[in-house]
Amino acid sequence: MGDWHDQTVAGLAARLRAREVSALELARHFLARGAQHADLNAFLARDEDVTLAQARAADARLAAGEAPRLTGVPVAHKDVLVTTDFPTTAGSRMLAGYRSPFESTVTARLAEAGMVCLGKLNCDEFAMGSSGENSAFGPIHNPWDRTRVPGGSSGGSAAAVAARLAPAATASDTGGSIRQPASFCGLTGIKPTYGRVSRYGAIAYASSFDQVGPMARTAEDCALLLSAMSGGDPERDSTALDLPPEDFTRGLDASIEGLRIGLPREFFGDGLNPDVRAAVEGALAELRRLGATLVDISLPRTELAIPVYYILTPAEASTNLSRFDGVRYGHRARSFADLTDMYVRSRSEAFGEEVKRRIIIGTYVLSHGYYDAYYLQAQKLRRMIADDLQHAFGQCDVIAGPVAPSVAWPIGTHAGDPLAAYLADIYTLAAPLAGLPALSTPAGFGDGGLPVGLQLIGNYLQEGRLLNVAHRLQQATDWHTRKPAGF
């Protein structure tokens, strides 16, 4: 069983059905790998008894012959998705030890699909961060180079899949938090169209941006998971689109002959590191060889995406996190003078520096006298950025470019300069501002042999097209098969 961790989700599903391996054997194998590589700090919670019980139930379903396609395949969940069998902390001391009385829609649907949960994954506190360093429970380490960040906020998801501690993981993307860690760790990750996947049970950072999606090694694996987790949820999430379930694996092998790929000139300017540019251009050359046409386009408000995002998301966060006050939810200070003092002490003690920073910014831009000058103007610009993207889709079918300006940076690089970390989101922000689907797929390697991702952005509900392009690229290259040394 030494190489089961090198199998993809699709490969494991096939072998489970062929009875070459049992769900119980797989669960024990991946639990052992998680314990062996605990120094990556990818997992926050594991429970062997729960995981093995789920595996036994999966084996019973397989033996009965009526099991869904993913039955018995292990998965791990980002710790912003509430679960009844594991604690949920969102990477914060505010929720240390919290046990949810209900299950998120995403985790429930994957359980219904037969997947076996290995545990909960570390992340930036309340999904606020681009590096995986902002967790209250310590930084996550990139398996490709343990001195470097794995990306954020879904850093635990990326580190676990890249290190073969899990074949796939759930993640969430507010401004790039699926795509950027996928890029930094050499994986495939897709942020679906806003509303494609229910947010019920996903602890909110910025409600009009947050979207849950899968992270795995291949586009095929992501298609399998997205097929299981997506669909309407009318009784629980009014923002979830009322769409029937869709099998995203059906169009994976379609030809991309004649596909128009738009290259925004703003994505290839002076801020892009030469090593990343070379890798992305190499991937684009492969797509051209497969029959795609490269088209020059412009997204003129690209630079405005950063200030717009860092006005709107803190504003929503300041409202969403107001519930964590020591009364309704979360940590309560042990000593306080009165009710106001209890609020102040509880929140000061339990929230990390980055969360406090964004709450303060959000409260400021929503305050009287500043709402019109900042928040309202940012909302207008958000609409203009979305219009720019729609104009671009009149000239192309898919937009492509880098995920981040550089490869993963050393842990602590931006500790005293949060603005520098914010700038790393420059290429990933447009898609969530417009609610569009976007994907990262391996595109080679940059300085230090570190992974580089190619970003693909599609029009609304075009996840299938993005997965098709990524799949065809992966069939023609081997970047997605490479793994960190020692894993």
- Domain annotation covers residue 285: no
287: Cβ contacts below 8 Å, ≥ 6 apart? 256, 259, 261, 294, 400, 469, 472, 473
DSSP 246: -
Task: Give the CA distances from residue 36 to residues 32, 41, 125, 165, in Å, rounded to whole numbers and listed in that order.
Answer: 6, 11, 25, 9
Whether the Cβ atoms of residue 212 and residue 222 lie closer than 8 Å to each other: no
Is residue 262 domain-resident? Answer: no
**CA–CA separation, 18 and 31 (whole Å):** 22
Q: How many other CB atoms are found less than 10 A from the CB of residue 399? A: 27
In a domain, 365, yes or no: no
**Known catalytic membership, residue 298:** no
Evaluate whether residue 303 is within a structural domain. no
Q: Is residue 197 part of a domain?
A: yes
Distance CA(314)–CA(426), nearest Å, equals: 17
Which one-letter amino acid corresponds to residue 256? I
Which residues lie closer than 8 Å to 166 by C-beta, 6 or more apart? Answer: 30, 34, 74, 75, 76, 118, 160
Q: CA-CA distance, 16 to 60, in Å (whole number)?
A: 12
Among residues 483, 421, 463, 479, the alpha carbon closest in space to that of 176 is found at 421
The pLDDT of residue 387 = 98
**Structural domain includes residue 370:** no
Q: Active site includes 130?
A: no
Q: How far, in Å, CA of 168 to CA of 36, rounded?
A: 18
> 22, 78, 131, 183: which is the annotated catalytic residue?
78
Residue 153 falls in the annotated catalytic set = yes
Q: What are phi and psi of 40, to 5 degrees?
A: -70, -20
Instruction: Name the catalytic one among 104, 131, 154, 177.
Output: 177
Mean pLDDT by 10 residues, the chain (487 residues): 88 97 98 98 98 98 94 98 98 96 98 98 97 98 98 98 98 98 98 98 98 98 98 96 94 98 97 97 98 98 97 98 90 95 96 97 95 96 98 98 98 90 95 98 98 98 98 98 96
This prediction's pTM: 0.97
Whole domain around residue 138: which residue ranges? 4-255
Residues 415, 409: Cα–Cα separation, whole Å: 12
If one counts the domains in the chain, the total is: 1
Does any domain span residue 191? yes
Extract the tokens encoding 446.
Answer: 């940059």
Q: What is the CATH number of the domain that holds 125?
A: 3.90.1300.10
Task: Check 153, 227, 230, 440 and give the catalytic one.
Answer: 153
